[in-house]
Structure 1
Amino acid sequence: MPDAPLDLLLLPTWLVPVEPAGVVLREHALGIRDGRIALLAPHAEALRQPAREVRELPGCLLAPGLVNAHGHAAMSLLRGIADDLPLMTWLHEHIWPAEAKWVDEAFVRDGTDLAIAEQLKSGISCFSDMYFYPQVAAERVHAAGMRAQITIPVLDFPIPGALNAAEALRKGLQLFDDLKQHPRIRIAFGPHAPYTVSDDKLEQIRVLADELDAGIHMHVHETAQEVTEALAQRGERPLARLARLGLLGPRFQAVHMTQIDDADLALLVEHNCSVIHCPESNLKLASGFCPVERLWQAGVNVAIGTDGAASNNDLDLLGETRTAALLAKAVAGSATALNAHAALRMATLNGARALGLDTQIGSLEVGKLADLVAFDLSGLAQQPIYDPVSQLIYASGRDCAKHLWVGGKQLLDDGRLTRMDEDELIARASAWGERIAKR
């Protein structure tokens, strides 16, 4: 029996599969059937296949949808509230008091919607969210059609939506059970940081993560101060403590990691952990520099995240990737560190691997889910084009994101959101801004 017609056949100028690494295919097409990639072939061959819709994408580079491996979506509503401050001052004197005052289910709903829209318009098809009221964030991801890892927030003190860690875990386990069959949402554990979560809670999370085969997503070694204080108080570095407690492993997602010595590197390699690099947030808060090239050369999976808009101040993963590539060269003292193709891999397949999704998304391969982005490289600023991936990373901005699909469903069409009303989102965000500014 012949195959059913393709649902959609896309004809870009360039197709960058990411896997195999470094490949750029010219005049190749991609076919989608039932939400998955069903065909990769030269234009002429592909056009012989029956398709319900054929769409030409002249001047466009078709790539896997970007994966934003770390962020705090609802904090979009706190964008710019406390700029130009060091991390602990920013957290203790501004962000945590603001969250205690304002964060409720309505705040998370509107802030997450704003973040989802911004990310879709930036070419991001999947993101990891670490924030309060995770059930509300999951509802917004479901409604928007996006893909996400939603983490259960755990700290040793009361947080919005949970009086203590036990309540946060209880609600999180219910959410895990409710969404275990969801096609686009995964639930993971999100203990905030080593300095805010006690050993007994971390050990409980380890047991639950093992039972549920769930990820653990955590801020680790974000600043030198964090490491210094841990050594003074406990006599061991935070990563070593996490290793002793059994948390490290292929499902462990270590966010930031600006402080890495030889022993830390050995632990990351031994346990096959992923590191989530957030260069712009780290730069803005003067937190330090993650040694990306050193990690990469040691075989550590390094993904990339924007962090929250309150510390970045945008959710522009393409811009983040450019910063990461430039910073990696400076830190390594080598112009060859983290080239453009490797940087794109970090923002796609490496992010998918960190979230445990690399068999489903992150590269353009037959059988994988059709999470795709088309970047328009036909503009003045991208000319002339010798290597389209270099032009994407070094000469393009998120405004070049033209079309985006998640599981074959188009969520961005010619730069316009298909399921969300931008004017309404702006109005809701502005109303929150006015309320917060008055206080």
Structure 2
Amino acid sequence: MKTYFFGVSVIYLVIDLILLKCRYIATFNTREEILENAYIGIDEKSGKIEYIGKEKPQKPYDEVIELNKHVVMPSFINAHTHVPMVLLRGLKDDVDLHTWLNKYIFPAEDRLKATDIYYGALQGIAELIESGTSLFIDMYFYEEEIAKAVMESGVRAILSRGVLDITENRTPETEVKKTLDFLAFLERMWSSNLETRDRIFFALGPHAPYTCSRELLILMREKAEELKKKLNNVWINIHVAETRNEFEDFLEKTGKSPVSYLDSIGFLGSDVLSIHTIWVRDEDLAVLAKNKVIVVHNPSSNLKLGSGIAPVPKMLEKGIRVLIGTDSAASNNRLDILSEARLAALLHKGITGNPAILPAKKILRMLTIDAAKALGLDGLLGSIEVGKQADLVIFNIKKTLQAYPFHDIYSLIIYSLDLRAVEKVMVKGRWVYDNGQFLTIKNIEKILERNAETRRRIEDELGI
């Protein structure tokens, strides 16, 4: 099958019916079943799971795949990225956020072109796939190019055009226009290719309360409410309370914390993804809980930039939904959601002195079904159940020494395995990754070469 969108063709080999014979299936269904020696039947045309069971189905399948040394589970949701920033990985490390952004990242980004973003996104998405991610939530510019890369790569994404109006030649109106122009682009994509409707989703992307005026933040909230009348899902991505300086500056200028400031202007809601959310008081946590805000925890980036550590256990105690993201490859410096999940599990045990905090199963739920529920996408994905989309990650438990001796599946994946054990990734019933090969992202070596040239150009222009 060949699909065209905006002049780009994507070829999928459709086998129609696939049967997976699995050693272990971690379903993450309502009963949290782990099935042993069971089958998953997949209709590749619809992308849906049509059968799960211990008995081999009677109907014939076009392809039967033996997975007798594997764990199959729902593929992961990476809740915060800036995927093209693989281009800027290592541009400057070991400095604080303010220096990193203003002296290095913003000047470098000013030199990026639309085609640079496209190829950077392809590399970034490949990295996401490699650690089992099938859906990511992104904020950047030239987001149309990222949408094209998403379609080519076969994954899913929630995309937001990042906007801010603290710099010259930007106003709340210009930034709203950028947002709506991006939505118009997606609407054309959705109209021209029905498959895109459950692969690419729209979000608004005000960068942060310290880079967006009060007027722009209020306009973003108003647009979100307006768009809910015609879109099934609308989210707002925003970086909040990432550093001590941000927190203290807000207190000095407004008499409020970043969280209480956003609450005071009516910005917060259950559709808000509050990224980082490190510098918060108990009263801020109460505000987040009251407004049903979703928090996204990015521990590697926060630690590396010296920003701090979000009080995730306290958030969960108050009923706040918390997801996990990698942030960008320029601040992390990886897009490996598995290593991020392991760090999140260990970090809070050490801080609290409580080894029972954030157990392995809970961490995996934060990457799968809990993330899907928070986003309102649990009818589509997040668990292995009949009728849901076949978004799967398959671990080969014989591939690394760390899998021996075999033990609790949740603990094995979080504490022992790494991306070397990821053998296959399926999205919507189609393989996108198999044994180190990217099946939908073609010529990865040429993409890497082009991105290396882009990096050299940027460094030359910056005089680095």
So what's the TM-score if we normalise by structure 2?
Answer: 0.89
Q: Distance in 2 between matches of 1:179 and 1:94?
A: 34
2:454 to 420, 423, 432: 432
| Aligned: 1:106 with 2:115 | yes
- Tell me which residue corresponds to 1:173: 183
> How many angstroms does 1:143 deviate by?
1.5
Query: Which of 410, 417, 422 is equivalent to 2:438?
Result: 417
CA distance in 2, matches of 1:166, 1:344: 36
Question: In the alignment, is residue 117 of structure 1 matched against residue 126 of structure 2?
Answer: yes
Q: Distance in 2 between matches of 1:427 and 1:83?
A: 23
Matches for 1:127-276 after TM superposition, within 5 Å: 127-157=136-166, 164-179=174-189, 182-213=197-228, 214-276=234-296
1:46 aligns with 2:61: no
Aligned to 2:26: 16
Task: Note the alpha carbon deviations across 1:196-221, whole angstroms, 9 max, x for none.
Answer: 01111111111111121210011011
The question of whether the paired residues in 2 share the 8 Å contact of 1:133 and 1:160 is answered with: no
Q: Deviations over 1:346-377 (max 9, x none)?
A: 11223323433222111112111111110111
Q: CA deviation at 1:157?
A: 4.2
Q: Aligned partners of 1:104, 1:334: CA distance in 2, in Å? A: 48
- 1:406 matched to 2:427: yes
| More deviation, 263-272/14-23 | 14-23
Using the alignment, how far apart are the partners of 1:252 and 1:139 within structure 2? 25
1:63 maps to what in 2? 73
Check conservation: 1:6, 1:50, Cα contact below 8 A. no
Q: Give the Cα separation in 1 of the matches to 2:351 and 2:225.
A: 36
Q: 1:414 & 1:160 partners in 2: Cα distance?
A: 48
Distance (Å, rounded) in 2 between the aligned partners of 1:250 and 1:383: 42
> Runs of at least 4 residues of structure 1 off by over 6 A?
159-163
Q: CA deviation at 1:161?
A: 12
Residue 330 of structure 1: CA displacement?
A: 1.8
Deviation sequence 1:265-290 (CA, Å, 0-9, x none): 11121111111100000010111111
CA shift, 1:29, in A, is 1.8
Q: Aligned AA for 1:40?
A: I
Structure 2 counterparts to residues 61-100 of structure 1, below 5 A = 61-100=71-110
Unpaired runs of 5+ in structure 2? 1-14, 229-233
Answer yes or no: is the 8 Å Cα contact 1:157–1:165 preserved in 2: no
SS state of the match for residue 196, structure 1?
coil
1:344 to 335, 356, 364: 364
**Contact 1:77–1:433, Cα closer than 8 Å, also in 2:** yes
Gaps of 5+ in 1: none
String of CA shifts for 1:140-167, please: whole Å, max 9, x gaps.
1111111000102110046999994143
User: Could you tell me whether the CA contact under 8 Å between 1:104 and 1:161 is conserved in 2?
Assistant: no
Cα offsets for 1:38-88 (capped at 9, x unmatched): 11111xx13434322111112211111111110101111000001111011
The answer as to whether partners of 1:294 and 1:332 remain within 8 angstroms in 2 is no
Q: In structure 1, how many angstroms separate the alpha carbons of the residues matched to 2:263 and 2:331?
A: 29
What percentage of residue pairs aligned between the two structures are identical?
37
Q: In structure 2, do the counterparts of structure 1 residues 437 and 154 end up closer, same or farther at CA, with 3 Å as the change threshold?
A: closer
Q: Which amino acid letter does the alignment assign opposite residue 228 of structure 1?
A: E
Q: Which residue of 2 aligns with 1:389?
A: 410
Mean Cα deviation higher: 240-249 or 17-26: 17-26
The answer to whether the Cα contact below 8 Å between 1:76 and 1:114 also exists between their aligned partners in 2 is yes
SS in 2 for 1:70: strand
**Secondary structure, in 3 states, of the residue corresponding to 2:147?**
helix
